[in-house]
Amino acid sequence: MSRERFEELVGEALDEVPVELLNVMNNVVVLVEDRPPDGSDDLLGLYEGYALTERGWDYAGVLPDRITIYRLPTLKVCDSETDVIDEVAITVVHEIAHHFGIDDHRLHELGWG
């Protein structure tokens, strides 16, 4: 799958996030990269920054948090475009949840592995 198509799927997954959540996301960007900096093939997405629940009165003047969705590891675990669509949607929700301070353990409990 081309990078352009993959980026479209990430955009479509973001379009499915309820507008109420998007409206309260603050100082965060969503990026697509081919693979994680360490070259690993098992990381599908990554949230880097300060979750909204960790921001205090002194949170100001910082670079945006980053949500990165990794194309090649995602394609590696998927057998079809339908699988990619589903996996991208799950990964986007998973990383947005980290922005809201929800950890991996709780996400697994909620079924968002």
What is the tens place of the pLDDT at every residue in 50-92? 888 888 888 888 889 999 999 999 999 999 999 999 999 999 9
Q: Which pLDDT score, from 0 to 100, does residue 113 have?
A: 63
User: Which residues, 6+ apart, have CB-to-CB distance to 12 below 8 Å?
Assistant: 85
Question: For 52, which DSSP code?
Answer: G
Please determine, for residue 18, whether its predicted confidence score (pLDDT) is greater than 70: yes
Which region among 6-10, 93-97, 99-103 has the lowest average model confidence (pLDDT)? 99-103
First and final C-alpha spacing in the chain = 24
Q: pTM value?
A: 0.89
Q: What are phi and psi of 38, to 5 degrees?
A: -85, 0
Which one, of 40, 33, 37, lies nearest residue 67 by Cα? 33
Q: What are phi and psi of 85, to 5 degrees?
A: -55, -50
Sole residue written with tokens 């690993």: 40
Q: Which pLDDT score, from 0 to 100, does residue 29 have?
A: 94
